[in-house]
Amino acid sequence: MARVVVLGAGVSGHTAASFLRRWLPKKDEVVVVSPLATYNWIPSNIWVGVGRMEASQVVFPLQPVYDRMNITFHQAKAKSIHPEGNQESSAPYILVERTDEGHEGSEEKIEYDYLINATGPKLNFGVTEGLGPHGGHSWSVCTPEHATQAASAFAESIERMKRGEKQIFLVGTGHGTCTCQGAAFEYIVNLEFELRRHKVRDKADIVWISNEYELGDFGMGGLHLKQGGYITHSKVFTESIFAERGIMWIKRAHTASVAPDRVHYERLDGTFGEEEFDFAMLLPPFRGVGLEGFDKQGQSITDKLFMPNGFMKVDADYSKKSYDDWAASDWPQTYQNPDYDSIYSVGIAFAPPHAISRPTVSPNGTPVSPAPPRTGMPSATMAKVVARNIADRILGKQCPPHTASMADMGAACVASGGAGFLDGSAAAIIVYPIIPDFERFPQYGRDLKHTFGEIGLAGHWIKNLLHHVFMYKAKMKPGWHMLPE
């Protein structure tokens, strides 16, 4: 009998556990460890954050689903990985701290044969003074609780405008190294849509602030879209969307601090500015959750397992190349740790080998450029491949490992632009490959036959459908495995 432990129950962790349970015999154990008792379909937090959904519509309890599927669930926070066991036993294990009611703080050891680190990120609000809803001066939509708080503050602003007051809305990134431009983009266009729906748009100024060099970068170095015989950069696509909606923008900006009524930011050219607001939704940068690693003697091996930012090392090329020397082949294929081959990492938890967008630093030494995104469809795809490889190893199949390099993977993104059933919209974008490959596609780095985007009402219908489809799939209801990632 083999035991596979999955750390995290987000998109990547939940996907990996689902397919492992499907592919492995009943005698093999699939264990999920997550500090939260619920699953959250994070893309729909945007709608919670503007008051179009309740938090209860984007979450469900994990325990009943895992009980039905014969998956063992531990509500706990992983603290450390011990891949060599300890001096008493060579069995690899993780040390966890329970978070379930009545057992908070107690520690447990969970042994494993295979381990998947899908912990996701730490929301690093503390890196920017005054950032975030926990004692700061801005809101977030990173969790259902954050989104509910943002919705309440947004509703208050709407009521103020209905009484004749002007309001300034500031949305974007809360630090120069953020990697969450896509979620912030969705939020700002939904916010603008809701102001029109409430007939108070004339009382609002809406401002976008981002670390992107150009709008539409999204941490992917931007992309070129071919449509109607014309090739357009995502910069034009995004600027057009903002211009049509009267959204002003500040780009190439590092949010240095957030005061109760304004942000102070540093521009890429080294100068400084400030922007007032009445309501701010600024997303934080990410880092690893803080897992540690120890060898058999109890000595730290954290640097063998993790990069300094806390994300796990996998089969990528982490040599210190210049940006101009990196290649698509630097990106991982199997997401397997090079020192401990029974450990894998997927989703945001794995360490990218380099930035996709060109790194830029201000004359003051401040990084002002997006980190690589690796959420959503790519997270689920790589999780499914890792689950397949682990299942093959347990079942003794002699076959080459399955791969899921982001440099050879396409992704579809449907970004909501307003939730009205007859007057809403969404930007639908397909990009291939996610990581530009200038060896295969010298001019643009991507295959323009499979990279395109458009915005319209049909996209909103698809976005709404996807919410229900993926909630159904996550609940592992009949036929779930036939639905796409």
Which pLDDT score is estimated for 423? 87
Q: Specify the range with the lowest mean pLDDT, choosing from 96-105, 154-163, 271-280.
A: 96-105
**Which residues have C-beta within 8 Å of that of residue 160, sequence separation ≥ 6?**
167, 278
Q: Say how far apart CA 176 and CA 265 lie, in whole Å.
A: 9
How many other CB atoms sit within 10 Å of the CB of residue 425? 23
* pLDDT for the residue 461: 92
Cα–Cα distance for residue pair 222/191, rounded to 1 Å: 24
Task: Tell me the percentage of the chain whose pLDDT exceeds 70.
Answer: 100
Q: Is the pLDDT of residue 283 over 90?
A: yes
Q: What is the DSSP string of 244-302?
A: HTTEEEE-SEEEEEE-SSEEEEEETTS-EEEEE-SEEEEEPPEE----EEB-TTS-B-H
- Whether 420 shows a pLDDT value over 90: the answer reads no
Q: What is the pLDDT of residue 298?
A: 96
Average pLDDT along the chain: 95
Supply the pLDDT for residue 419: 87
Evaluate whether 292 touches 79 at the Cβ level (below 8 Å): yes
Answer yes or no: are the C-beta atoms of 99 and 9 closer than 8 Å. Answer: no
* Strand partners of residue 98: 76
pTM of the entire predicted model: 0.96
> Would you say 186 and 218 are in contact if contact means Cβ atoms under 8 Å apart?
no
Return d(Cα 480, Cα 470) in angstroms, integer. 9
Architecture of domain 3-123+287-362+372-406: 3-Layer(bba) Sandwich (3.50)
pLDDT in the model for residue 242: 97
Sketch the domain layout of the chain as residue ranges. Answer: 3-123+287-362+372-406
pLDDT of 300 reads 98
Contacting residues for 171 by C-beta, under 8 A, at least 6 apart: 184, 187, 188, 191, 206, 207, 208, 209, 280, 281, 282
The model's confidence at residue 291, banded by pLDDT at 50, 70 and 90, is very high
Handedness of CA 142, 143, 147, 149 (dihedral sign): negative
Q: What is the pLDDT of residue 228?
A: 74
Give the pLDDT confidence of 116-138 residue by residue, as tens digits: 999 999 999 999 999 999 999 99
Provide Rg for the chain, Cα atoms. Answer: 22
pLDDT tens digits along 369-404: 999 998 889 999 999 999 999 999 999 999 999 999
Residue range 245-253: mean pLDDT, rounded: 98
